[in-house]
């Protein structure tokens, strides 16, 4: 799978590598890097998240800028 960084410029971190990001793939999908939700919020989504999935949070503005 090839990744193409499409993170909006204002969300790209200049001083570290641990920032939210969005990548477009050649598999017709997106890969998103974000913060892991705390356990109490993950519990609210218990029946929606499969064993091979993770729940993350990214700034709303980052997704809005992709439109």
* Residue-wise pLDDT tens digits, 2-13: 999 999 988 888
Q: What is each CA distance from 51 to 8, 16, 32, 47, 54, in whole angstroms?
A: 30, 30, 18, 10, 8
What pLDDT digit, counting tens, does each position of 24-43 carry? 999 999 999 999 899 999 89
- pTM score: 0.77
Number of structural domains the chain divides into: 1
pLDDT confidence of residue 61: 86
What's the distance, CA 59 to chain centroid?
9
Residue pair 31/55 in contact (Cβ under 8 Å)? The answer is: no
Q: What is the domain extent for residue 37?
A: 3-64
Sheet with 3-5, side-by-side order of all strands = 3-5, 21-25, 30-33
Report residue 53: phi and psi, to 5°.
-120, 155
């Amino acid at each position: 799978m090839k990744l193409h960084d499409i993170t909006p410029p204002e969300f790209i971190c200049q001083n570290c590598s641990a920032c939210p990001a969005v990548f477009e793939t050649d598999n017709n999908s997106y890969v998103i890097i974000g913060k892991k939700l705390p356990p109490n919020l993950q519990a609210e989504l218990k029946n929606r998240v499969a064993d091979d999935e993770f729940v993350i949070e990214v700034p709303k503005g980052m997704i809005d800028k992709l439109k």
